[in-house]
Structure 1
Amino acid sequence: MNLKRIFGTILTILGIAGLIYTAYLTVTLGENNQTLKTALVYGILGLVFFVSGIGLIKTTKDES
């Protein structure tokens, strides 16, 4: 098992969870200014985690 691949998987899962939570906040809580800021922060962090996790998985080579 490669530690980088495991860390990439964890980052990807956290990114997906952040993006899903952003969608939930956007749909359910309406037009509150604080809610929109919170959703924006979670969305940006989720996107960064997701992209970095996918990049880490793709660039890590399998060595056996």
Structure 2
Amino acid sequence: MNLKRIFGALLTALGIGGLIYTAIVFSSTSGETQDIKSLIIYGVLGIVFFVSGISLVRTTKDEA
């Protein structure tokens, strides 16, 4: 397996984890400013990691 594909899979897993954590924080939020800031930060980081991981896995060619 290629190192880029492993790194892409790791980024994808981190992105999924960040999005799941955002959903957990969203379900237990009370609407304070700190809650909204954490939602935005974790959500944006999760989306960035997920998209970059998927694109890295997709664009890396298999070399046997």
State the TM-score bracket (shorter-chain normalisation): over 0.9
Give structure 2 stretches of 5+ with no counterpart.
none
Aligned equivalent of 1:19? 19
Give structure 1 stretches of 5+ with no counterpart.
none
User: Scaled by the length of structure 2, what TM-score is found?
Assistant: 0.96
Q: What are the residue-to-residue correspondences of 1:1-64 with 2, within 5 Å?
A: 1-64=1-64
User: What is the RMSD computed on CA atoms of the aligned residues?
Assistant: 0.6
- Alpha-carbon distance, 1:30 to partner: 1.9
Identity %: 59
User: Scaled by the length of structure 1, what TM-score is found?
Assistant: 0.96
